[in-house]
Every structure is written in structure tokens, then in C-alpha cells.
Amino acid sequence: MNTIAISRLVGSQAGAIAKQVADALGYDLVDKEILQGTLHQYGLTRFGELYTSPPNFLDLANSKNLEIISMLNDTMKALAYRGNTLVLVRGGYVTLNEFDDVLNVRIDAPFKVRVDRVMAREGFSNPSEAASWVAADDNARMKFVQRFYGQKWHDARDFDLVLNTDVIAKTTAASWIIDAVHMLEARPPRSGFKMARDKKVDPLLLSSIDQAIGSRE
């Protein structure tokens, strides 16, 4: 009944790795679309825009944006509570790293490697256009974490496992994550640490999550 939270940058192959892990463990895979579907149940229709655009300082003074982030954090905690779930997160890992039954993973690769992968995947013909696209996506993700969570994206201290897919193959990365989950399951709860499964969670939020996940099947 544990949860895996994976943070990543575009071109790191995290999506493919996450699917391998979720399939192997029988976990539900939750990405931005599932999160957006859940939050739409609450009328928070601007989630997608806020999640993909680089926020600025004024966004921190916007009560609607702060409501979205608060609801996103509640959703992350509900996902951790339900367990057997792999979540592709952005800043949400900051919310989950307080829990002893959540495995926090960062998947990354050097910028040039990620640009080459995105070129092949998205069909870019000009390397500079691909590099600009990757840099813009990186900027949006990093600013989201910094503005709304006060964290530096490259700070690895919040993660249990950090993987560089320029060195580590996808299948190996997936295997290591699965091994880490099994180790987490075998470890007795540590004194003084919180457990996500002990948190009080809104049943309506859990229902919305299940509906969003079910709609994809």
C-alpha cells in the first residue's frame, strides 16, 4: 500500500519508466491529465494553464492560484493515502516527502541528451528549435516548484532515489525503483515519521480520483 512519486524533466524517459513500474507492481499511474480530471470535479478549470506556464511573482498573490495549489496538495496526499499508486508529480513531491510510506524518485538526464530525445520524439528538424522547446518546458517546471513550494528544482535532498537515464537504461531504472519499493515495504515504520495512510482524507476527493483514473481505462 505504498506510493511512488516521480519528479522529472522532459526527455528524461520518466513516462516510459513509470509505465513499466506501474505495470509490474499493479499500481495506478497518475499523470497531469488524471490530476486535471480530479480537480475539474471541484471547478478548478485553470489547473492545466497554471501547471504548464512559468508562474511569476504576481501568481503568488492570486487567491485562485493558491486555491489550486492547496487543492493539488490535498490531492497528492489523498493519492498517497490510497496507496498502490505511482504519481508523476511536479511540485507535489514537496508535499509527499514528509511521509514514510512514499518513495520519492527524481529522473533526469543531461540537457543535450534530452534535446536529442525530444527531437526524435516530436519530429523537430532544427536542433535549436528543439533546444528552445526543452528549455521553455524546463523553465516552467522549475519556476512552478520554486514559486509555489520554495524549493530549488535541482536540490536532490528531498529524494530517496535519483536516476540519470543517460547512464542508466530504462529497464534498469524501472527495476531499481521496484526494488526500492520492496525495501520500503519491508522496512518497519520509523519513529517520528508520518504515514500517508494514517492521514484523514475527504471521501469525495478519493471518489473523484477513482473516477478520473477509471475514465482512462
Q: Which residue has the higher pLDDT, 53 or 74?
A: 74
State pTM to two decimals.
Answer: 0.86
Per-residue model confidence as pLDDT tens digits over 51-69: 555 554 444 445 667 777 8
Full residue range of the structural domain in which residue 111 is found? 3-216
Amino acid at 181: V
Give tens-digit pLDDT for 124-137. 889 999 999 999 99
Split at pLDDT 50, 70, 90, the class of 170 is very high
Residue 44 has pLDDT above 90, yes or no: no
What beta strand segments (E) does the chain contain?
Answer: 3-8, 28-30, 85-89, 102-108, 161-164
CATH of the domain at 104: 3.40.50.300
Chain-centroid distance, C-alpha 167: 22
Collect all residues with Cβ–Cβ distance below 8 Å to 134 and sequence separation of at least 6: 10, 11, 111, 114, 115, 118
pLDDT score of 33: 87
Structural domains counted in the chain? 1
Q: Crossing angle of helices 203-216/32-40, nearest 10°?
A: 130
Q: Mean of the pLDDT values across residues 15-20?
A: 97
